[in-house]
Chains A and B, each alone.
Chain A
């Protein structure tokens, strides 16, 4: 089975532009997570979904960030407008609802906002 798929792998954009990151979780997984990783802040959870429903978005930095999960096999994270401080690696992860619920991470999207 394929792992978590993310696109694009790299994104370079200019300040003020809209950015959309995409994620396809592992088939059959119930949870989907969006993380952001920077040197300064480490690996921080932005939002997570259970069965396509957002459960906790307390990590979303501000209104410029939004996430959707229209179906079990697709999710997007959108930044509008983007700012240089949004530059980071964004990971999507998924897990299956079991007592262990280990998370499987996608390869990440490296975002650079100029």
Chain B
């Protein structure tokens, strides 16, 4: 089942902050975050593993609540380059190790 992202869209001015949420009904092994700009491929931002480990870009931060199966992506001091569609991808692990199910995406627009 597809994870649910909120909000569906966010409009910011440069320098403002935003939080994007991702919620799953299944027990998760990991949560991935990707950003896609118009006409381009999704690009990896961050991964958070069950147990607390994470890996990603220095300027991106995120959290993973294993009990609630929820993750949040924090975008601080936004820049014009942050504009794009953000997807969370969830992995349940086990026999589905490596398989991601993506949310519907959150469109982020940053204005000067």
Contacts and interface: CB of A to CB of B under 8 A. Distances in A.
Interface in A44-69: 44-45, 48, 50, 55-56
Contact of B98 (A31, A43, A104): A31
Interface string B101-112: 111110000000
Given A91-B41, A105-B43, A107-B41, A100 B49 contact: yes
Interface residues of A, number: 23
A76 B104 CA distance: 26
Given A91-B41, A100-B47, A106-B41, A42 B99 contact: no
Contact of B99 (A56, A100, A107, A108): A56
A20 interface: no
A56 B96 CA distance: 8
Interface of A: 31, 33, 42-45, 48, 50, 55-56, 91, 95, 97, 99-108
